[in-house]
A = this chain, B = another copy of it.
Amino acid sequence: MADHNALPLVVLAEKFASLPGIGMKSAQRLAYHVMSMDKESVEDFAKALISAKNDVHCCKICQNLTEREVCPICDDQDRDHSLICVVETPKDVTAFERTREYGGVYHVLHGLISPMDGITPDKLRVKELLGRISQGGVEEVIMATNPTVEGDATAMYIAGLLKPLNVKVSRLAFGLPVGGNVEYADEVTLFKALENRNYM
């Protein structure tokens, strides 16, 4: 389709088309748009790509993505470090922060247990969570995984591991629509779900 375009444009369009949710037609339009951008903006874009790949890694405490060694949330002494909210992805942290109602810290699992997809607990950041709790000072762990089969299973599994460690374990209230997604929940629903959490 793009055979008769200049080669660098074809190459760039293919790169855009390899991203999720971008078709070949949009990718071509984006490639043309890049040509019309000024040189500095294109260079900044290229640098941002490299930087997002190279400079971002997991916070050594909560495993959220950050460009520092310890993320700003774990580093914030005004937050309640005795309360840990366990989520599946970094996007879920953003969703909770949007409620402006949660003052504790987080732990990002980077996935949910799903034996069908070969995701066993050792592939998640569960060890790191147990490590944090065994250091003491943690009073409550809120399981804030999605209200799906995998989310529930992961919450149950981790709750089981935490039982001997003498911490309260709670689960987000099912104010969330079952089968839904934490990332896309509106602020009020998410806040209600947080407020009505059930102790396990």
- The number of chain A residues touching the other chain, given as a range, is 35 or more
Q: Determine how close the nearest CB of chain B comes to the CB of A18; give it in whole angstroms.
A: 8
**Given that A1-B98, A65-B6 are contacting pairs, would A52 and B26 also be in contact in the complex, using a CB cutoff of 8 Å?**
no
Q: How far is the CA of A39 from the CA of B45 in the complex (A)?
A: 16
A126 within 8 A of B: no
Which residues in A have some Cβ–Cβ distance to B below 8 Å? 1-9, 11-12, 15, 18-21, 26, 28-35, 37, 39, 41-56, 64-67, 71-73, 90-91, 93-94, 97-98
Task: Write the nearest CB–CB distance from A93 to chain B, whole angstroms.
Answer: 6
Q: Which of B26, B35, B47, B65 contacts A46 (CB 8 A)?
A: B47
The majority secondary structure among interface residues of chain A is helix
Copies per assembly: 2
Given the known interface contacts A12-B51, A44-B15, A91-B28, the answer about A97 and B3 at a Cβ–Cβ threshold of 8 Å is yes
Q: When chains A and B are docked, how far (Å) is the Cα of A151 from the Cα of B37? A: 25
A19-B33, A29-B20 known; A50+B43 contact, CB < 8 A: yes
Q: Which residues of B contact A71 (CB under 8 A)?
A: 6
Task: Give the shortest distance, in Å, between A52 (CB) and chain B (any CB).
Answer: 4
Asked if A52 contacts B1 (CB within 8 A), the reply is no
User: Known: A2-B94, A4-B97, A5-B65. Contact between A34 and B53, CB under 8 A?
Assistant: yes
Contact call B34/A65, Cβ cutoff below 8 A: no
